[in-house]
A and B are shown apart, each in its own frame.
Chain A
Amino acid sequence: MSALSNIITAISLLLLCHAGFSAYEFSHYLKHLTIKSNASLPIDIIVETLFSISLFGVGQVLAAPKLQPVSFAKWAKQMEKDGNSPFAYLERRPGFANIQKIRADYKDESKALK
């Protein structure tokens, strides 16, 4: 999805650049060759511009991240399916801690430091 949207966006920007350059050239010819004083923009430049921006819109909408459902129940269900449930901390609990062993380890470590 993202590669496709990148390609679409790149093509649309290229077309927009080309249309802009063409419009510049057109106004340049009008001023320096004085063919017609107030001719409007050629139809192909207009079509190219409109086509490129509609393509750009499609590319941007395809590139957007997937929307999440706003209902908490649906959202939590989806997150759980993806493996990062918001209630994961309730489903796990630590085993019993061996206090005797921790104390012995602490003693050994403090002895080693001395």
Chain B
Amino acid sequence: MDSKERQLAIAPISTESLTQNTKAVYYIRSVSSTIFGVAAGILGLESYIGFLFYFAGTTYISLLMFLVLAKGKPSEYFTSSSYVWTGNAFTGLTSFVLTWTMFYGLVDA
């Protein structure tokens, strides 16, 4: 029995709340990255700057989740306290690129 297993035996985690919290983070990340793509297209960003915009937006959303959703204590709501910052950080990238390219073309008259 290694130390992590022993820790789980002493303080068991609730899988139900873990799934619910992960789902909430996933939903916010995918919806917000779609909207960030729309904004990047409207601003007419190109190449690396667009991807930088995505990461800036993701960091902003992470900060909001850290402050509002987890109330500054992410270790109480997730097994790893960095989940709010890095978890699902790339799930929205494909939808970001989709709406980015679409709105880039739409805005150009």
B-contacting residues of A (Cβ < 8 Å)?
Answer: 16, 19-20, 23-25, 27-28, 31, 41, 45-46, 49-50, 52-54, 56-58, 60-62, 64-65, 67-76
Candidates A19, A53, A65, A72; contact of B57 at CB < 8 Å: A53
Residues in B with CB closer than 8 Å to A67 are 17, 20-21, 24, 69-70, 77
Smallest distance from the beta carbon of A45 to chain B beta carbons, Å? 8
B44 beta carbon closer than 8 Å to chain A = yes
Interface of B is mostly: helix
Interface of A is mostly: helix
B93 beta carbon closer than 8 Å to chain A = no
Residue of B nearest to A67 (CB): B77
B42 x A72 contact (CB < 8 A)? no
B35 x A56 contact (CB < 8 A)? yes
5 smallest beta-carbon distances between A and B, as pairs: A68-B17, A28-B109, A75-B14, A72-B12, A67-B77
Whether A24 contacts B107 in the complex (CB less than 8 A), given A53-B36, A60-B31, comes out as yes
